[in-house]
A and B are shown apart, each in its own frame.
Chain A
């Protein structure tokens, strides 16, 4: 009986973990879009960076249920670390600097995780917010190191692997960021489908029950928080390396708040949520900014209110109407998208 249950669980876990054809299609489409719009590399790079950053928040919010309003802290540490490494010529290879910056953010994540696992949601909001504000104030105070409000001067990113120069059109930057996103996405996918990832879901659903069945709740939360900090640090380092800029804005509260919006739009608790949310959020911004440079914030706000009121499920249904028709023609009835009532899987 027990072996039956176990093999059942393992079977379902494997089923979830398997690559679906639409995932292949997704990544091929992303690459195709990258090749199709060579004049839009910079904004696409921004979307990729935001997607990676959102992926990081999704790991702790969507999978482990840790709310955070200060995720920009790790983004900022990664950004400044990459900037300082380059400005002082400490590490010339961008890829190596990227990893070092990620690790720096990871160390901070590990240290602060002990504060974050204490207390419930509201406490966590306050603690994470506080840490980000603290770092922003520190960066401003030590403006001799960080460049303060003017930003860090003298960032000169050397060619990637000694071969690919970061060009004005952002071509190298885009494919570099995309490759990093893809690798880290694979890693995240592996993590959330592993027994470790499943135990996180159990903790999110009910920490007490999770503890009762023998899951070391705090250790798991510390681990995922640290991993998420690494991801955010990498996103920050990508920001610095692809724009050659680092200023106090990297710690800004808006950054953390925008990230929440991205997950609200895309949906937390599935890895593509952050990726899709980043795309939709940024495109909305771009379209409204083009139409009305002065009042675009009003329209963004309005759309967000509408999204929350109408509910993501219904919007998804509307958005999927045409693809559904196509799917119906191609694959018959069973491929049609039905709406799920809760956020799966």
Chain B
């Protein structure tokens, strides 16, 4: 009899399975809604990226309403945990089942890559709000970026370091595409300016224990270390930097601004004082637009917005403006045409979308970590206007 029971159990589960497969597969498509599929990591190691983007988009929609050009905007949030196979599946389902008009988000470079062929095939704009590898926008003619590229900031900090008395630099970068981008651009500009790289370390992305690497750095006695770690890992890095006493041995921290991300900067401790970074956004950016943005964000979520939040805020603004400009036409090609060349004042300063590369053109600021009203901030002291992505300008 034992066998029969099991098989009957199987029969029962088949019914369940059939019902379960039907759940969530009945899309409701109304003529007057405009759907945005937002795919970001909400769990796992990159969760802070997704949360900031999600927060910023909600804030923008509160401030600007959810109706544009007669269309009601609906954002469908999906968690991909930064795994590209999830991203690909979610993007496909959003395009096919939910009939979204735009896919957006993409916390890490592999995720943006995975969705690229779907954007091309589906003729749907892919708005990259976080991932920063230069080559992303070349993977599909439908990709538009509102975050930044690592060469944008790394080349500038390279030039700055060479001009400001830093001779020897050790580098510590996360071993994946953005880290390699940052390293290559920095090295090129720093050595061209007469600097020397004395130690080069690549740390695994998934295993951010910096202690053993930092000891090697200390032994190499450089003037500064060039650091790139993704948003969310900066706090851990600075903690270990202080624990190993590198701050006391006079080794400065320089790099693209990911390491002093505003999201975590408040709690990094005084070891981070004096770190000089080149980046596209600081919560201390002295403009009215930014002050209002920071105040509203802090009021709504009780934390300081970082550059990921700004990427999301500008991304949703881009979609709103494109929809306004093309008169509410929801098809991908006209949206894309409307997005190209759009320019506006963002909390980070003036930005625009390069009509040729669909990448962002923006100011890059050199900042130093200082105490303002008792809190740590990246205070900007030098501005490079309208920087294009050097990764593409080269070609």
Contacts and interface: CB of A to CB of B under 8 A. Distances in A.
B85 A239 contact: yes
A290 B24 contact: yes
Interface residues of B, number: 54
B206 A149 contact: yes
Contacts of A46: 89
Interface string A289-326: 11001101100000000000000000010011011100
Interface in B75-133: 77-79, 83-85, 88-89, 92-93, 96-97, 109-110, 113-114, 117-118, 121-122
Interface centre among B9, B92, B206 (most CB of A within 10 A): B9
Contacts of B3: 15-16, 20, 344-345
A179 interface: no
B72 interface: no
Interface residues of A, number: 63
Given A40-B97, A143-B175, A340 B5 contact: yes
A272 interface: yes
Contact of A148 (B2, B5, B78, B175): B175
A249 B4 contact: no
Contacts of B43: 294, 296-297
A283 B18 CA distance: 11
A121 interface: no
Interface in A31-80: 32-33, 36-37, 39-40, 42-44, 46
Contacts of A43: 89, 93
A323 B88 CA distance: 36
B96 A345 contact: no
A29 B17 contact: yes
A169 B12 contact: no
Contacts of A320: 8-9, 12
B11 A293 contact: no
A287 B24 contact: yes
Contacts of B2: 340, 344-345
A59 to B, nearest CB: 17
Contact of B5 (A44, A170, A290, A344): A344
A32 B14 CA distance: 11
Contacts of B78: 289, 293
Nearest to A242: B85
B272 to A, nearest CB: 26
Nearest to A344: B2
What secondary structure prevails in chain B residues at the interface with A?
helix
A339 interface: yes
A205 to B, nearest CB: 15
User: Which secondary structure characterizes the binding site on chain A?
Assistant: helix
A22 B117 contact: no
Given A293-B77, A323-B11, A337 B5 contact: yes
Contacts of B192: none
A22 B11 contact: yes
B118 A168 contact: yes
B178 to A, nearest CB: 9
Nearest to B11: A22
Contacts of B97: 39-40
Nearest to A153: B113
Given A140-B204, A245-B114, A344-B3, A26 B79 contact: no
A112 interface: no
Interface string B5-25: 111111111111110111111
Contacts of A150: 109-110, 176-177
B9 A26 contact: no
Interface in A120-166: 140, 143, 148-151
Contacts of B296: none
B42 interface: yes
Given A149-B206, A337-B9, A39 B96 contact: yes
B12 A272 contact: no
B73 interface: no
A279 B6 contact: no
B124 to A, nearest CB: 12
Interface string A161-189: 00000001110000000000000000000
B205 interface: yes
Given A149-B175, A293-B42, A279 B20 contact: yes
Nearest to B97: A39
B51 interface: yes
A212 interface: no
B331 to A, nearest CB: 18
A333 to B, nearest CB: 13
Contact of B6 (A32, A170, A248, A345): A345
Interface of B: 1-18, 20-25, 42-43, 51, 54, 77-79, 83-85, 88-89, 92-93, 96-97, 109-110, 113-114, 117-118, 121-122, 175-177, 204-206
26 contacts: A26-B10, A39-B25, A42-B89, A140-B206, A143-B175, A148-B175, A149-B110, A149-B175, A149-B204, A149-B206, A150-B110, A151-B84, A169-B96, A243-B88, A243-B89, A245-B84, A245-B88, A245-B114, A279-B13, A283-B20, A286-B24, A289-B79, A293-B78, A294-B54, A340-B2, A340-B6
Interface of A: 15-16, 20-23, 25-26, 29-30, 32-33, 36-37, 39-40, 42-44, 46, 140, 143, 148-151, 168-170, 239, 243, 245, 247-249, 270, 272, 276, 279-280, 283, 286-287, 289-290, 293-294, 296-297, 316, 319-320, 322-324, 327, 335, 337-340, 344-345
Given A23-B10, A170-B92, 11 more contacts: A22-B8, A23-B7, A25-B14, A33-B21, A37-B22, A42-B88, A151-B110, A168-B121, A279-B13, A296-B79, A337-B12
- Shortest 4 CB-CB distances between A and B: which pairs? A344-B2, A22-B11, A320-B12, A323-B12
